[in-house]
Amino acid sequence: MDVPEARNPWRGLALLAVLPVLALVACTPSDESGTGPPDGSRPLAAVCGGTAEGPSQAPEGAVPVDPAVPGDLRAKTNRHGPATTFWLAPGTHRLGKAQYDQVIPKRGNTYVGAPGSVLDGQRANRYAFTGNAADVRVQHLTVRGFVAPVNEGVVNHDSADGWVIEHNTIEGNAGAALMAGARQQVRGNCLRDNGQYGMNAYKADGTITGLVVEGNEIVGNNTADWERRIPECGCSGGVKFWEVNGADIRGNWVHDNRGPALWADTNNNDFLIEGNLIEDNDSAAIFYETSYNAVIRKNLLRRNNWVEGRKFADGGDSFPAATVYVSESGGEPRVPARTDKIEIYDNVLENNWSGITLWENADRFCNSPANTSSGSCTLLVPRQDRCSPPAIESPPLLDDCRWKTQRVDIHHNTFSLDTSVVGCEALCGRMAVLSNYGTYPDWSPYQGEVIQQAITFEQRNRWHDNTYVGPWTFMAFDTDRVLDQPQWQVGPYRQDRGSTFSRAAGG
């Protein structure tokens, strides 16, 4: 969820130089429409329209499911015990006409589709697969036409643990295509044109660990345009992660989503985001918010954030809406993870609306009315009521009640911008590290320039050894300080040591 000052950022754009850092998507540039490369080659995760097919005959020991018998899948699931494999024969399978006619698997069940097998919710059923059974597999199915409510999902609706969801096409559903539980693996799927998210990784008890999202195509989601229907709801995009502790997101093609591509919101930790091709999304490519400890490396980001960035500019808003947006998030050694920083390196960003913004809202902290992650406190202070005067006015709570944008290390990236391609003048080529002037609530110990000073100079946020191509400018401390390259590199900011700059157009 976002705050008014942080303002939900952005949209998308293209580069092929410096692709050695991107072996996963090398030689697979898309055309300007984002629909695929003109030479017929495809990104590794271009699986929509070409997901791996399941077995054409029922595997040995599997229970065949007949599409001509309405409700056959539900009935046979109910009759058979745990660890049963069900083979869905070719054709369109229907569960029944009632909204709660979903399948409730038993532990260890496998659901595998033959070529041409479709599970259709008929715009009547809310969910496809629900319940708390662990270690379920869903493979080689097309799942469509289900009408999950907002913030709910169609497959693994109850976020059960240990599910493997692979080689499916989950498309044209309301809500999210799927939810996530602990140890879940989401591999080789087409998550396309769903009403809210491609995936909503949320579990009420906050116990999602060991999540893997690999080799998927995540495209065209948020068809219901939830941010327009509920302004600033923070409820749209390709994938949304909530309180996930340990996630690997790699080798995916995330494109043309209405909203952010990948959005980690509220007390996520220990993320690895690598080798993804992220392009043509309306808002940020990567949005890491009120969270901890991440490695973001070897991704190719292009043509993202055009819609939201232009909306800011057209509205006269000078906030640096960015393609990689780190908001109230940072490295924290006291929270166990594979790293104690947010490290952003070996990425290529081409013709996006702006680059990387590091932001911290001075008025947003645990127990502040400005904290839109309502009910949540930091991972260092589990109880909100502790973050109150007078205790919050002194260490350790003075520090630990804040989600700090700290220990962010940005290096060896290539930032390329051709403003004639993006269709802008000055506002689409910015890097930023900043905060607002603290004013609220009246008992806040962070009023005035306290957080502006901290994020800019005291919290070990640094750019270095990057390559810039195009007319980049820099913003520090607040939105009034716009710096050119020499000002950014000398005191008091001393950023981007070892970096190179060229004014030539990107591409």
Phi/psi-derived region of residue 354, left when phi > 0, alpha when psi is between -120 and 50, beta in every other case: left
Q: Quick one: which of 171, 341, 325 has its CA closest to 270?
A: 341
Element (H, E) at 400: helix 397-400
Map residue 199 onto helix, strand or coil: strand
What is the model's pTM?
0.92
* b/e 192-205 (16+ beta carbons within 10 angstroms → b): bbbbbbbbbbbbee
Helices (H), 46-156: 72-79
Distance CA 468, CA 472 (A): 7
Q: Quick one: which of 385, 383, 478 has its CA closest to 434?
A: 478
Residues 6+ apart with CB under 8 A from 379: 267, 269, 292, 332, 335
Strand partners, 22: none
Instruction: Give the alpha-carbon dihedral of 163, 168, 169, 170, to 10 degrees.
Output: -20
Q: How far is CA 88 from CA 69, 110, 184, in A?
A: 12, 11, 22
Map residue 499 onto helix, strand or coil: coil
Strand partners, 147: 174
Distance CA 253, CA 154 (A): 21
The owner of tokens 């009759």 is 79
Q: Cα(first)–Cα(last) distance of the chain, in Å?
A: 34
In the chain, where the domains are located: 59-259, 260-506
Q: What is the 3-state secondary structure of 142-174?
A: EEECCECCCCCEEECCCCCCCCEEECCEEECCE
Q: What is the pLDDT along the chain (507 residues), one digit of tens a residue?
A: 433 333 332 222 233 333 333 343 433 333 333 344 434 456 778 999 999 999 999 999 999 999 999 999 999 999 999 999 999 999 999 999 999 999 999 999 999 999 999 999 999 999 999 999 999 999 999 999 999 999 999 999 999 999 999 999 999 999 999 999 999 999 999 999 999 999 999 998 889 999 999 999 999 999 999 888 888 788 889 999 999 999 999 999 999 999 999 999 999 999 999 999 999 999 999 999 999 999 999 999 999 999 999 999 999 999 999 999 999 999 999 999 999 999 999 999 999 999 999 999 999 999 999 987 778 999 999 899 999 999 999 999 999 999 999 999 999 999 999 999 999 988 999 999 999 999 999 999 999 999 999 999 999 999 999 999 999 999 999 999 999 999 999 999 999 999 999 987 544
The values of phi and psi at residue 310, to 5°, are -70, -35
* b/e 106-129 (16+ beta carbons within 10 angstroms → b): bebbbbbbbeebbbbbbebbbbbb
The values of phi and psi at residue 448, to 5°, are 75, -140
Map residue 309 onto helix, strand or coil: helix
Distance CA 16, CA 39 (A): 14
Distance CA 352, CA 482 (A): 19
Map residue 84 onto helix, strand or coil: coil
CB-based burial label for 224 (10 Å; 0-12, 13-18, 19+): middle
Element (H, E) at 434: strand 430-435
